[in-house]
């Protein structure tokens, strides 16, 4: 299962690495118009997104994206996930529809705050 999880994560990261935004052209822009990357506070055209998952919302989004790569993704309800701050990681507990009426009824995922890497973990 760990190999499948690692392969899914590698595939997702590979797909994300292939995505690049195109820079709009400013052919008819005035000469004094600010250019991306030249003005303080404006991002450079190809500036990478902030790595990791520094916020609860980023952790939820990372887990939701990870769940979409799983073969049984339809069983998870990421909109009802609970998030706990564990210091260096976020613990995200996601309900599963096939686990209703039993305990534990949620799958556990750990999201590293520095890297944003999602890993599955057993529920205790």
> pLDDT, tens digit, for every residue of 60-99?
999 999 999 999 999 999 999 999 999 999 999 999 999 8
Per the structure, how many domains does the chain have? 1
Instruction: Check whether 37 has a pLDDT greater than 60.
Output: no
Quick count: other Cβ atoms within 10 Å of Cβ 4? 12
Range of the domain at 83: 52-124
Instruction: Check whether 4 has a pLDDT greater than 60.
Output: no
pTM recorded for the entire structure: 0.58
Q: Does 65 map to a domain?
A: yes
Q: Does 7 map to a domain?
A: no
75 closest CA partner among 105, 102, 110:
105
Which of residues 47 and 14 earns the better pLDDT score? 14
Q: Does 20 map to a domain?
A: no
Q: Does 10 map to a domain?
A: no
Q: Does 46 map to a domain?
A: no
């Amino acid at each position: 299962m760990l190999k499948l999880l690692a392969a899914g994560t590698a595939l997702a990261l590979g797909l994300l690495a292939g995505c690049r935004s195109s820079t709009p052209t400013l052919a008819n822009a005035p000469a004094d118009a600010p250019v991306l990357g030249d003005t303080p506070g404006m991002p450079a055209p190809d500036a990478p997104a902030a790595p990791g998952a520094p916020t609860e919302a980023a952790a939820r989004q990372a887990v939701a994206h990870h769940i979409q790569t799983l073969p049984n993704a339809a069983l998870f309800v990421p909109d009802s996930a609970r998030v706990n701050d564990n210091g260096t990681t976020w613990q995200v507990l996601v309900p599963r529809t096939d686990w209703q009426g039993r305990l534990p009824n949620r799958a556990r995922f750990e999201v590293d705050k520095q890297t944003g890497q999602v890993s599955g973990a057993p529920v205790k």
